[in-house]
Amino acid sequence: MVKRQCMSDEIRDTLATRIYDGTLPPGERLIELAIAQEFGTSQTPVREALRELEAMRLVQSEPYKGTRVREITPREMAESYLVRAILEQRAAELAAPHFQKSSDLLQKKADEICAAAEQGDIDGYARSNMEFHRCIVEAADNLVLLQCWDALQFEARIRVNLFRKNKAIVARAAEHAPIVEALRRGDGAEAGRLLREHSESFAAVWAKEAQSSESDPDNPSPSCSVEMSAATD
């Protein structure tokens, strides 16, 4: 059971990386038998990996049509970041007293984000960035708020953004420092404003991309696997 689970995790992570970096483009069909042969395993762990990828909203399965890579459209990205902006603003307001007592973990995550940005470590940046923002939402101590935030699947979205070799990654990483400082002071209103502006800036980029796609349907904008210089978080 443990070996099968480890294989399932390996397959999931490998396929996810291929989806994030565009090796597996939207619409690409994922054939269980072919994947099983590649990894030298049975189809059982492949099915488990595909179920997890579907839960992450990276793939979609349809009866009699199989499993394909799901496209994350610019409009979906824009709408998600707008919702995130509101959720994190409120989370910061609620969490400020917690971080006024202790902000060590949040500072650690902010430092990890900056270090990963300097090193060009996409996986490290995405992981630490997701943990930074989730840490704030968790500290708000509101289960419904946390569930809503988790439902947006930002771990996947952050990686979709980062795998486009963004040049603004270091500058974006630096935006987390004033958020930590505001929370350390117990200024939830300021931290919330910064978090909201942080997310809204990404929403604006994606909204522009969505508008471009919708205004010229015969020449749609590139999918989320291509480079867009301003969206990195």
Predicted pLDDT at 123: 80
Domains and CATH numbers, the chain: 2-69 (1.10.10.10), 74-215 (1.20.120.530)
Q: What is the DSSP letter of 222?
A: P
CA dist., res. 35 & res. 175, Å (int): 40
Residues in the chain: 233
Predicted pLDDT at 152: 84
CA distances for 102 relative to 19, 59, 99, 178, 191, angstroms: 38, 39, 5, 16, 15
Question: Using one digit for the tens of pLDDT, what is the confidence trace for 52-99?
Answer: 999 888 899 998 889 999 887 888 888 999 999 999 999 999 999 999
CA dist., res. 150 & res. 140, Å (int): 14
Pair of tokens at residue 147: 């569930």
Q: What is the DSSP letter of 20?
A: H
Q: Is the pTM of this model over 0.85?
A: no
The half-sphere exposure of 183 on its side-chain side, counting CA atoms within 13 A, is 35
Percentage above 70 pLDDT, the chain: 84
Would the pLDDT of 229 be above 50? no
Q: Find how far residue 7's CA is from the centre of its chain.
A: 23
